[in-house]
Amino acid sequence: MTSHINIQVELAEDKMPEAIQWTAPDGGVPEPQKAKAILLGLWDGEEKSALRIDLWTGKMMVDEMNDFFYQTFYGMADTYLRATKNTALSAELKEFATSFLKKASAALEAEDKKG
């Protein structure tokens, strides 16, 4: 059996992502869903290295990127816990995620006051 997750990226003339859509028919998402950003990580077991595809559209606002990274870090902590059962490091990742969001929000607020 094979399952597919499909990601379609529409590029602007400058080759930057203009639109991102995805489907996962076997995961209950048969119709295209819009996204403003994607972080895809793959593990190459032979090379023992992580491969990444990080894309975002010009419509992705900084506050949305801050929330996206916070939720990604927090979700990674849950995944790490399920994979390793290491509650201490999972909790540390969640603490980092919370600290990151506070600092990112404060930086954005400071930028808004300048501009």
Contact between residue 86 and residue 113 where contact means Cβ atoms under 8 Å apart = no
pTM listed for this prediction: 0.90
Q: Does residue 60 have a pLDDT over 80?
A: yes
Give the model's confidence band at 46: pLDDT under 50 very low, under 70 low, under 90 confident, else very high.
very high
- The reported pLDDT for the residue numbered 114 is 85
Q: Residue 42 is inside which H or E element, if any?
A: strand 37-44
Mean pLDDT of the chain: 96
Mean predicted confidence (pLDDT) in 2-27: 96
Q: Does residue 31 have a pLDDT over 80?
A: yes
Task: Name the phi and psi angles at 24, rounded to 5.
Answer: -145, 80
- For the chain, the structural domain boundaries read 1-58, 61-115
